[in-house]
């Protein structure tokens, strides 16, 4: 049921796709989620076209597990909604249908056409950035607005073939990441594609096609126009996708890190950058390891690592002007977070945790005998302790403290722990006796993340 006409009056070039039949490719329904199959079949049975598209087809062809399954169809969003009870229409920039199955959301997008300026006036800014992208079209319109050739493959549920308009299968086999169309134009339409280019190249181990790469240093400034909320989403994909360490290196190498963390980037380029670099890399290594093991991660922790040395520098200069170390850290934290969130809109529930991780460092760094137990009960203790370990690993002089906490936490018996604290006290400045007597013995609660 084709109910929509392409709007463009310009006759577009319509190359024929290369069709890879079922026996010419390795995508198998076995590896497509039940939810995605259900959506594909229901659309198909209702007479619509239904394709798996984007990252899932790419990943299946590479033998990787797709992160999610996106579907493209000629059904309009409202028509999709009529087919599924568990369906919501979302999006202002373009309307999408989300079909929900438990935790899994299948995104269903109606084929869209590229804007060539329409009756409502231009959908682009002066710099050529796309603002609206909601004109429906056909599959051969839709393919042009995809970013990379390897992301533009469509798996057709009607005959299990792969439809390839852009030579994506060949690029995929060659390990090549190539923008569709003219790189300058495509990056101007959406500068986030520069970040995506580095992310995919890193994640897939692909090389960037020369033209796709060449335009990046020339156009990277355009990323400054991207909304901070969108950059927050991108930041999660860049650093929490499992290849954070390498992605960070690529962003630094190609000069894109500056648009995400300008203060950190400047520090990294300074003579003091070495420690910051070591800490960030240690944090990303640990994040990558946790992602690989399916352990929970929080952006608050990465944020803490990415900005710690910037905050420390700011705090040092406040202290040079007479502030106490506690005040200096609190004020520096506020100042740096305020500056950083004007670039990347980190929600407050995360920045609060970042602040707490920083705030606990002084306490953990110089454990006072009478506050040891209390410290472990802080809801952010575990994260702050992990952060202290990273700092130690990255060469900051906090090794003794890190070792103390590690010992303390791995000592199961109350008496032995007591002994550790007493040893600590012996090496402390003499503590008042009163404090010693008041010390309560309680069971340590499991420390939260
Ligand atoms: P991931 O593994 O990160 O999910 P993906 O390729 O599926 O990778 P998504 O962000 O989920 O990436 O987007 C799905 C598809 O939508 C892409 O494969 C691409 O075809 C298209 N797409 C997404 N973002 C853009 C963009 N900024 N410009 C052009 N096309 C895009
Ligand atoms: Mg995806």
CA gap 282, 131 in Å, rounded: 38
Mutate to test the pocket of ligand 1, among 109, 151, 194 (most ligand atoms within 8 A of CB): 151
Domains and CATH numbers, the chain: 5-174 (3.30.460.10), 262-429 (1.10.3090.10)
Mean pLDDT of each 10-residue bin along the chain, 449 residues long: 53 81 96 97 98 97 95 96 95 88 96 64 59 79 96 98 98 98 96 98 97 97 97 98 98 97 98 94 97 96 98 97 94 98 97 97 88 88 96 94 91 85 68 39 43
What is the predicted pLDDT for the residue at 128?
65
* Ligand approaching nearest to the C-alpha of 152: 1
* Contact yes or no for 318/327 (Cβ under 8 A): yes
Mutate to test the pocket of ligand 1, among 71, 129, 146 (most ligand atoms within 8 A of CB): 146
What is the predicted pLDDT for the residue at 14?
72
Write down the pTM of the prediction. 0.87
- Any bridge partners for residue 161, and if so which? 156
Give the residues surrounding ligand 1 with Cβ less than 6 Å away.
54-55, 67-68, 70, 145-147, 151-152, 190, 192-193, 237
| Ligand 2 center to 18 CA (angstroms) | 23
Helix (H) or strand (E) holding 260: helix 257-260
Half-sphere exposure of 320 (CA within 13 A, CB side): 6
Tell which atom from ligand 1 comes closest to the C-alpha of 190: 27
Cα separation values, 96 from 13, 134, 172, 230, 308, Å: 27, 10, 27, 17, 39
What is the predicted pLDDT for the residue at 324?
94
Q: Is 147 a catalytic residue?
A: yes
* Nearest residue to 317 (alpha-carbon basis) of 336, 339, 330, 332: 332
Atom 22, ligand 1: residue with shortest CA distance = 146
What is the predicted pLDDT for the residue at 329?
96
* Contact yes or no for 277/216 (Cβ under 8 A): no
């Amino acid at each position: 049921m084709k109910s929509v006409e392409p709007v463009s009056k310009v006759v577009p070039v319509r190359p024929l796709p290369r069709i890879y039949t079922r026996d010419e490719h390795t995508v198998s329904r076995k590896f497509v989620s039940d939810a995605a199959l259900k959506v594909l079949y229901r659309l198909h049975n209702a007479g619509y076209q239904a394709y798996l598209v984007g990252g899932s087809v790419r990943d299946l062809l590479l033998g990787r597990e797709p992160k999610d399954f996106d579907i493209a169809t000629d059904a309009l969003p409202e028509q999709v909604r009529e087919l599924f009870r568990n369906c919501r229409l979302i999006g202002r920039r373009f309307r999408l249908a989300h079909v929900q199955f438990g935790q899994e959301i299948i995104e269903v997008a109606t084929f869209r056409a590229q804007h060539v300026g329409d009756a409502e006036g231009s959908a682009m800014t002066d710099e050529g950035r796309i603002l609206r992208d909601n004109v429906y079209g056909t599959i051969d319109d839709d393919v042009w607005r995809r970013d990379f050739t390897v992301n533009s493959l469509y798996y057709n549920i009607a005959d299990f073939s792969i439809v390839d308009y852009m030579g994506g299968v060949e690029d995929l086999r060659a390990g090549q990441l190539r923008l569709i169309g003219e790189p300058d134009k495509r990056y101007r339409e959406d500068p986030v594609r520069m970040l995506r280019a580095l992310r995919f190249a890193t994640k897939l181990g692909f090389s960037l096609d020369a033209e796709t790469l060449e335009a990046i240093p020339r156009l990277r400034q355009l990323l400054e126009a991207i909304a901070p909320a969108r950059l927050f989403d991108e930041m999660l994909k860049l650093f929490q996708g499992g290849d954070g360490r390498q992605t960070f290196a690529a962003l630094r190498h190609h000069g894109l890190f500056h648009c995400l963390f300008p203060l950190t980037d400047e520090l990294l380029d300074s003579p003091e950058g070495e420690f910051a670099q070591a800490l960030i890399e240690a944090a990303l290594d640990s994040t990558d390891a946790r992602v690989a093991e399916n352990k929970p991660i929080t952006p608050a922790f990465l944020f803490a690592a990415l900005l710690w040395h910037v905050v420390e520098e700011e705090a040092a200069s406040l202290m040079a002007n007479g502030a106490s170390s506690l005040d200096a850290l609190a004020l520096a934290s506020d100042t740096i977070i305020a500056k950083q969130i004007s670039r990347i809109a980190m929600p407050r529930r995360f920045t609060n945790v970042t602040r707490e991780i920083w705030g606990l460092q002084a306490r953990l760094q110089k454990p006072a005998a009478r506050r040891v137990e209390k410290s472990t009960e802080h809801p952010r203790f575990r994260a702050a302790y992990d952060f202290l370990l990273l700092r130690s690993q990255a060469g900051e002089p906090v090794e003794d403290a890190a070792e103390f906490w590690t010992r303390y936490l791995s000592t199961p018996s109350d008496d032995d722990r007591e002994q550790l604290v007493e040893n600590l006290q012996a090496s402390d400045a003499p503590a008042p006796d009163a404090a010693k007597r008041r010390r309560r013995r309680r069971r340590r609660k499991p420390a939260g993340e």
